[in-house]
Chains A and B, each alone.
Chain A
Amino acid sequence: MKPVAFDYASATDAPTAFMALKDHAGSARLMAGGQSLGPMLNLRLARPALIVDVSRTAALRGVTQTADAIIYGASITHAEVEDGIVPDATPGWMADVARHIAYRAIRNRGTLGGSLAHADPAADWVNVLTALDACVELKGPTGSRTLLLEHFFMGPFTTALALDEMIEAIVVPRRDATASWGYEKFCRKVGDFSQASAAVLIDPARGQTRVLLGAIEAAPILLNNAEALISGHASVVDAVSKALPERSVEANALHVQAVVRAIAKALAAGART
């Protein structure tokens, strides 16, 4: 399969990208790493008239550090997180997640912003960055806005991003060594999209405890009663059943195990510190 013909523009700066989006409202697509859009083009599932390449857009390639968070440009690649080329807002958790995304060839090109915009429910960043309470900075013709990721994802492959908006940056709150983290995903093979995933964040310093259920046919779900689930006072089976009521207990087995194991990892990590 070869793509339908399209025009190509490389946006070296953000205003150029905006202009292109505005001029081709609805028929232009941003491409950063192209690891999701590329196959969609080849399969002729995506047929934009214009591809705006933002992989080299300076404004999207930067990293800003504040006392409270690290702000990653949307075109930072998975490999740059994996290799420590950009600082990690967490005690190494993000680099570890990045190391297990797909294959290195994909990590070399795929970007944080691209992954979030594509919003595949099984994608690592979709779930991990939501669990880490990150938000996205969106820029559109009428200005900028910031959205928590838990509000950004509307469903599978669906986000709050308007047609003329782009993700400019991802704001990830800093986590220190007193926090602990567990992430579990089940894949048929290394590099595959996960069939079930879960992430657990325990951050006493910020007073945050989060248990996220991912790789479902919906936006990621933050489970209620996170503290009770972690302490064992609430049933993970019940929590997952409640979150995914349309599925049988047997069908939820992998998701239950993902949560159980993510909790165990987080507790084990907490015990070590």
Chain B
Amino acid sequence: MNVPLKPGGVGASLPRLEDDRHLRGRGRFVGDIKLPGMLDVAFVRSPLAHARVHGIAKPAGFEASVFVHADLKGVSGIRADSGLAGFRSSIEPVLSYEKVRYVGEPLAACVADGRAAAEDIAELVSLNLEALPAVHDMTKARDADAPLLHETWSENVFLEAFVDTKFDVSAPSADVKISHTMRTSRQSMCPIEGRGVVAYWDNHVEQIVLYSSTQMPHIVRTGLAECLGLPEGKVRVVAPDVGGGFGYKGILLREEVCLAYLAMHLRRPMRWIEDRREHLTGNANCREHHYEISGYAKADGTLVAVDCEAIVDSGAYSIYPFSACLESAQVPSILPGPYQFEGFRCRTWSVATNKPPIVPYRGVARTGVCFAIEVLMDTLARKIGMDPVEFRLRNLVRPEQMPFTNITKKLFDSGDYPEALKRAAAAINNDSIRARQKAGEPDGRRIGLGYSIYCEQGAHGTSVYAGWGIPMVPGFEQASMRLTPDGGVEIRVGVHSHGQGLETTLAQVARELLGVSPSTVKVIHGDTALTPYSTGTWGSRCMVMAGGAVASACDILAGRIKTLAGHLLQADASTILLADGLASSASGSISIADIARTWYRRPQDLPAGFDPAGLEVTQGYKTLRDSGTFSYAAHAVVLAVDTTTGTIEILDYVIVEDGGVLINPMIVDGQVYGGTAQGLGSAMYEEMRYDAAGQPLASTLADYHLPGACEVPSIRLLHMETPSPISYFGQKGIGEGGAIAPPAAIANAVNDALAEFGVEMLELPITPDRIRAKLAAAQRHTAQVTAP
């Protein structure tokens, strides 16, 4: 259902309307909220990764200020089961009591006037813990002698899954086979604002009101009501300004439940603001995968089959609402990416370890999967002796095959993947880089050129999620629209905007369909009391789903405005056009403000029997198919590797991106740049190591390396625009893509640079230490082989 685009509306790089308050420091985040009588909460967290809890002693004199599990009467733990066969269930207690299963797990809440005072009390709480052996390595979690995290389980596995499509009949036709052992590191998402909660009991409406730095206030409301045993009508959740989410804020927190309980029972406002140390040590919760992957290809460059065993380190508990299995369920379904081949076999284990529970981070499993398959593609190309671009072009899905159903039944809506890769190769100056590599560098560094390509399924809906049976299944996305008495437009959505620029882009949709200036549009989001239900902001869904819902509501509202205009202009409503704040017919025009004024303030001007529907609309929306939009991009990078130090310098970085119709191209660019910075973090910097006792080895940002402005290169971003046939404007979800491709592209470039040494980097992040170690090992190997 593509519609003609209007200047200033859809497709305009409109500066973000929300930037004014943010650039002036006038946003209102959880940490900015101060309520009279508010107390601060500090949590006593487990210092051990795995232990039996024999006692928690409240310090003398502070008994009334310290709360443990037994004090939270009537509160249930957090449970998020998957309906997939064989899933093993876990319950996260709000405050742990029998066992602790990772460092940082909350055991007691200490309440005081001020955070420092609360921490003083927390220091005095004494824990009687019996240390148990910890599971810190996902590859050993299934060992027969591995200690069990959940003692009623038979092994430390949330879920095992297996798919096989003609693998046995396909693989034998291959001429070459490559096998890799690969792994990605555990990361902390590190949004600039951590989590935070302020809760108070509102006597007037008899509700617990919870301000939380969350991406999904409606989901939190449901989960909170269930845990507290309250009807949802007694719970209101407000997400104020939120300083980045990335998935980190897409869960129900134990701290949210705990603070709500304390606020209800102490009848004082409660605040907890996560600090960076809590974030790093207690919430390093994403990305950690292990792959045993093999690729089979013919000598002519035809990819024949892929075989993979993947382990996802899911940490200690299943999180609400995504469960412990979203990531491991994704691996087998998205591993083939945009390639076509005959045979596929994949087995995955979502294993439990003594680490924080895994939470889907921007790109979810795609970043790891893209790394696994794309590095494999390059190694296969090297083995066959074919250029990596050529090899990919032979195997990518072609535009004339669209819509295309791939080997795992993913339905690609549209796109021209070969063209994106060709443009990337041209833009990065593939041929001159190859010539430069042959010539060598004056400083002795080795130049590497690497590519990666991926697809990003976004805005996928009911049919995809219903199969997983998790606590949340997205249905119709809703938007409420209201014309105010002065002719302004209010949009209310249940998704949340925390960097995505939805306050601008949804206003652009209204501009497009109602002909009003975006400056007269107010987007209201983040408050369960003010907005229609939504599963929230995740899965690159907002611009497709909330954008489509706003557009659908606009269509209905436009019809009602035209009916009123037709009456007031004495014209046929179907001939009315909405533009520039006016409703116009051939015979004249009237401002939308006058139409609103008539409806609200001069109803005496309307005839008896006039349509009573009014100027408020709530409308639901789904895409034409709920299988998702598929945006994609090709990344190309040129870098130089110093083989004596292992240092990498990125010399050039090109992205050719196709997000369908871009509602606001400037905002899309920002999403791609930001995602790419995070992808470079996965590729080269970020890693939370654990020792054998399960202790996290970084507790500050001096030890956990995030890429900064100096580490992110100038990225040359080029666009293609293949509209999606299933979304309202042809737009596709693009929020996560930037974070998916960089590890694969960087690895391929480094491996290209180091090919002459027979060295391949198969573990993330690719650090100077790891490069030097691999080169030294290769050198020792060569020395042994050549020794007489």
For B716, the chain A residues whose CB sits under 8 A away are: none
Partner of A190, one of B699, B700, B702, B710: B710
Return the CB mask of A27-48 against B: 1 if under 8 Å, else 0: 0000000000001000110000
For A186, the chain B residues whose CB sits under 8 A away are: 645, 647, 768
Interchain CB contact under 8 A, A254 and B116: no
Chain A residues 238-273 with CB under 8 Å of chain B are 250, 253-254, 257
For B702, the chain A residues whose CB sits under 8 A away are: 192-193
Total B residues in contact with A, Cβ cutoff 8 Å: 25
Interchain CB contact under 8 A, B119 and A1: yes
A5 at the interface (CB under 8 A from B): yes
For A254, the chain B residues whose CB sits under 8 A away are: 645, 768, 772
B330 at the interface (CB under 8 A from A): no
CA distance A44 to B42 in the complex (A): 14
For B776, the chain A residues whose CB sits under 8 A away are: 250, 253
Closest chain-A Cβ to B609's Cβ sits at a distance in Å of 66
Return the CB mask of A175-214 against B: 1 if under 8 Å, else 0: 0000000000010111111000000000000000000000
Interchain CB contact under 8 A, B767 and A188: yes
Interchain CB contact under 8 A, A191 and B772: no
Chain B residues 665-714 with CB under 8 Å of chain A are 685, 699-700, 702, 705, 707-708, 710-711
For B685, the chain A residues whose CB sits under 8 A away are: 188-189
Interchain CB contact under 8 A, B772 and A4: no
Chain B residues 113-144 with CB under 8 Å of chain A are 114-116, 119-120, 123
B519 at the interface (CB under 8 A from A): no
CA distance A88 to B119 in the complex (A): 45
Chain A residues 1-51 with CB under 8 Å of chain B are 1-5, 39, 43-44
Interchain CB contact under 8 A, B773 and A4: no
Chain A residues 150-193 with CB under 8 Å of chain B are 186, 188-193
Interchain CB contact under 8 A, B711 and A190: yes
B575 at the interface (CB under 8 A from A): no
For B644, the chain A residues whose CB sits under 8 A away are: 253, 257
Closest chain-B Cβ to A104's Cβ sits at a distance in Å of 12
Interchain CB contact under 8 A, A192 and B705: yes
CA distance A191 to B115 in the complex (A): 30
Interchain CB contact under 8 A, B116 and A253: no
CA distance A43 to B119 in the complex (A): 11
CA distance A192 to B684 in the complex (A): 15
CA distance A83 to B79 in the complex (A): 57
CA distance A50 to B685 in the complex (A): 38
Chain B, Cβ-Cβ closest to A250: B776
Partner of B705, one of A2, A188, A257: A188
Given contacts A188-B685, A189-B707, contact A4 B116 (CB under 8 A): yes
Interchain CB contact under 8 A, A190 and B705: no
Report the contact-size class of chain A (Cβ under 8 Å from the partner).
Answer: 10 to 19
Given contacts A189-B708, A190-B711, A192-B705, contact A253 B120 (CB under 8 A): no
Chain B residues 266-311 with CB under 8 Å of chain A are 275, 277
Partner of A189, one of B115, B277, B699, B705: B705
For A39, the chain B residues whose CB sits under 8 A away are: 700
Chain A interface mostly: loop
Closest chain-A Cβ to B688's Cβ sits at a distance in Å of 15
Closest chain-B Cβ to A133's Cβ sits at a distance in Å of 28
Closest chain-B Cβ to A270's Cβ sits at a distance in Å of 20
Closest chain-A Cβ to B359's Cβ sits at a distance in Å of 23
CA distance A191 to B705 in the complex (A): 11
Interchain CB contact under 8 A, A1 and B773: no
CA distance A126 to B60 in the complex (A): 46
Interchain CB contact under 8 A, B645 and A43: no
Chain A, Cβ-Cβ closest to B116: A2
For B711, the chain A residues whose CB sits under 8 A away are: 189-190
Interchain CB contact under 8 A, A191 and B116: no
Interchain CB contact under 8 A, B277 and A257: no
Given contacts A1-B277, A43-B277, A43-B700, contact A189 B710 (CB under 8 A): yes
CA distance A171 to B350 in the complex (A): 61
For B710, the chain A residues whose CB sits under 8 A away are: 189-191
For B700, the chain A residues whose CB sits under 8 A away are: 39, 43
For B768, the chain A residues whose CB sits under 8 A away are: 186, 188, 254
For A192, the chain B residues whose CB sits under 8 A away are: 702, 705
Interchain CB contact under 8 A, A191 and B708: yes
For A1, the chain B residues whose CB sits under 8 A away are: 119, 275, 277
CA distance A39 to B700 in the complex (A): 10
Given contacts A188-B767, A189-B710, A190-B710, contact A250 B772 (CB under 8 A): yes
Interchain CB contact under 8 A, B116 and A3: yes
CA distance A29 to B762 in the complex (A): 48
For A5, the chain B residues whose CB sits under 8 A away are: 116, 120
Closest chain-B Cβ to A54's Cβ sits at a distance in Å of 24
For B275, the chain A residues whose CB sits under 8 A away are: 1
Partner of B115, one of A2, A188, A253: A2
Given contacts A2-B116, A4-B120, A189-B707, contact A257 B767 (CB under 8 A): no
Interchain CB contact under 8 A, B119 and A253: no
Chain A, Cβ-Cβ closest to B644: A257
Return the CB mask of A103-128 against B: 1 if under 8 Å, else 0: 00000000000000000000000000
CA distance A59 to B700 in the complex (A): 34
Chain B, Cβ-Cβ closest to A188: B705
CA distance A5 to B647 in the complex (A): 43
Chain B residues 713-772 with CB under 8 Å of chain A are 767-768, 772
CA distance A257 to B767 in the complex (A): 17
CA distance A4 to B120 in the complex (A): 7
For A250, the chain B residues whose CB sits under 8 A away are: 772-773, 776
CA distance A186 to B702 in the complex (A): 15
Closest chain-A Cβ to B521's Cβ sits at a distance in Å of 37
Interchain CB contact under 8 A, A257 and B708: no
CA distance A188 to B700 in the complex (A): 15
Partner of B645, one of A4, A193, A257: A257
17 further interface pairs, Cβ-Cβ under 8 Å (given A43-B277, A188-B767, A190-B711): A1-B277, A2-B116, A4-B120, A39-B700, A44-B123, A186-B645, A186-B647, A186-B768, A189-B685, A189-B705, A189-B708, A192-B702, A250-B776, A253-B776, A254-B645, A254-B768, A257-B645
Interchain residue pairs with CB less than 8 A apart (22): A1-B277, A2-B114, A2-B116, A2-B119, A3-B116, A4-B120, A39-B700, A43-B699, A186-B645, A186-B647, A186-B768, A189-B705, A189-B707, A189-B710, A191-B708, A191-B710, A192-B702, A192-B705, A250-B776, A253-B645, A254-B645, A254-B768
Chain B interface residues (CB < 8 Å from chain A): 114-116, 119-120, 123, 275, 277, 644-645, 647, 685, 699-700, 702, 705, 707-708, 710-711, 767-768, 772-773, 776
Q: Which 7 A-B pairs have the closest CB atoms?
A: A190-B710, A2-B116, A2-B115, A250-B776, A189-B711, A188-B705, A257-B645
